Amino acid sequence: MLKRVNELFTRYRKLVMFFFFLVIFFLVLNDVFDKEIISYDVWAHDVLVKNLRSDFLTMVMTIITEFGSALALVVLSLSFFLFSKNKKKGICVSLNLIIITVINLILKFMIQRPRPSGFNIINESGYSFPSGHSMVSTAFYGLIIYLVYKNVKNKWLKITLMISLFLLIIMICISRIYLGVHYASDVIGGFCISVSYLMIFIMIVPRFLDIIDKDF
């Protein structure tokens, strides 16, 4: 029985992850609609803003958050396209960036949650939910993680790159709360809907472009 369940999960793991993170996203969204400020928003603010802020950490977080900026991601996407031997992979990365950015803008416009105010270190415009940096960075670097997983042969290099990119995603998400431009719920919502989207993207687009083997 357990073996059968494991086989089914292995076979349909991307769909399982799609629905799992989509459900979390809608639970967070429901909280956002029900309450202006959620309990874990307050908790994250107390930990990251009230207790951890320092000049050094502010400098670090300001640098980290730039890895999720539009400029950085566009430059990285273009670089991937220009220097990749397989141009289809470059197209895949660029297309992913465009799609997730459009989805984020649509969601922001539909939900129209105001940003937190009064304790922001940097200035940002636009709506708050879901976090653009968190959402777009998760999809962008998440796809890179998957391409590394499928293409890098050296085991330790693969593991190192995947862990490093995953930690970068998490730190970008945390930086948005620390810098005072997003609530924790904005970041969690952005991360979850992005993972959910990415599961569908990697099941369709790389296969369509014929850049990944069938065990995808």
Could you tell me the residue ranges of all domains in the chain?
A: 54-208
Q: How far is CA 150 from CA 14, 79, 111, 145, in A?
A: 15, 20, 36, 9
pLDDT surpassing 80 at residue 11: no
Predicted local distance difference test score (pLDDT) of residue 5: 46
Looking at residue 190, its pLDDT comes to 96
For the entire predicted model, the pTM comes to: 0.88
**What would the pLDDT profile of 178-195 be if each residue is shown by its tens digit?**
998 999 999 999 999 999
Q: Residue 14 and residue 196: Cα distance in Å, rounded?
A: 9
Distance CA 216, CA 11 (A): 10
pLDDT at 175: 94
DSSP assignment of 134-157 equals HHHHHHHHHHHHHHHHHH---HHH
Cβ partners under 8 Å of residue 178, min gap 6: 48, 49, 52, 53, 57, 58, 61, 121
Instruction: Give the DSSP H or E segment for 5.
Output: helix 2-34
In this prediction, residues 62-77 reach a mean pLDDT of 93
Confidence category of residue 212, pLDDT binned at 50, 70, 90: low
Give the span between the Cα atoms of 143 and 83, in whole angstroms: 17
Average pLDDT over residues 200-206: 82
Closest C-alpha among 94, 68, 194 to residue 135: 194
Per-residue DSSP letter, 31: H
Residue 184 DSSP label: H
pLDDT at 1 over 70: no
User: Could you tell me what percent of the chain has a pLDDT over 90?
Assistant: 52
pLDDT number for residue 174: 95
Confidence band (pLDDT; 50, 70, 90) for 6? Answer: low
Count of helices and strands (H, E) across the chain: 8, 0
* Nearest in space to 169 (alpha carbons), one of 88, 100, 98: 100
